[in-house]
Amino acid sequence: MENKIHLHDKSFKIFIPNEDIEKAIDAVAARLNQDYASSTDEDPVILLCTLNGAVIFAAELLKRVNFPLVLKACKLSSYEGTSTTGVVKTEIPLPDNLEGKKVLIVEDIVDTGGTIVALTEQLKAKKVADVRVCTLLLKKDVYKKDVKLDYVAMEIPNRFIVGFGLDYDELGRNIKDIYVLDE
């Protein structure tokens, strides 16, 4: 683990080491295994990975959960550089045939909540039976939406971070630790 990294024109310092991330994922996976224990092959959970950021978190969850599921993906975005635009764009739409299904949204980070609100509205329009939200990280100080976050691995302050799937202009997703902007 390096204490500092540089991406594009910015410097970042270590914030959350990988071993802490792994422990938090273990705890969330244990809760998911309990809550979805009654899932069956005939009625599997749809694990909906939000691209690109949640790929690593979703992959780690997949290694730890033991209930029947189907992996699907979608892509919504609202970030440019280090800040949110406030406008949620759908880049890869939701899959078809979700009506009556149990959907678990897997998100890398929830901050203002615009993406989660847009996604849950789209899922409700598709008449899913149940929608739950699982996020690796929550910026609790800025999240003011009414959508319930069912599974939160870690709460963090409102700082710009990279690593473990999170990026700065597409760089840094492959870093196993999480780094914070060094201001």
Q: What does the pLDDT average to over 155-161?
A: 96
Domain presence at residue 134: yes
Q: Exposed, middle or buried by CB within 10 Å (0-12, 13-18, 19+), for 126?
A: middle
Residue 173 exposed, middle or buried by CB count within 10 Å (0-12, 13-18, 19+)? middle
Residue 180 lies in a domain: no
Q: pLDDT digits over 30-89, tens only?
A: 999 999 999 999 999 999 999 999 999 999 999 999 999 999 999 987 655 555 666 777
Note whether residue 174 is domain-resident. no
Q: Is 18 exposed, middle or buried (0-12, 13-18, 19+ CB in 10 A)?
A: middle
- Count of structural domains within the chain: 1
CATH number reported for the structural domain that contains residue 96 in this entry: 3.40.50.2020
Mean pLDDT along residues 18-32 = 98
Does 161 map to a domain? Answer: no
| Mean pLDDT of all residues in 137-143 | 96
Whether 96 is catalytic is: no
Q: Which of 108, 111, 167, 177 is catalytic?
A: 111
Please provide the DSSP assignment of 53-95 as one string: TTHHHHHHHHHH--S-EEEEEEEEEEEETTEEEEEEEEEEPPP
The mean predicted confidence, pLDDT, of the chain is 93
- Residue 74's pLDDT is what? 93
Closest of 72, 57, 2 to residue 26, by C-alpha:
57
Does any domain span residue 169? no
**10-16 and 178-181: which strand pairing?**
antiparallel
Structure tokens at 1: 């683990």
Domain with 141, as residue range(s), is 19-31+39-156
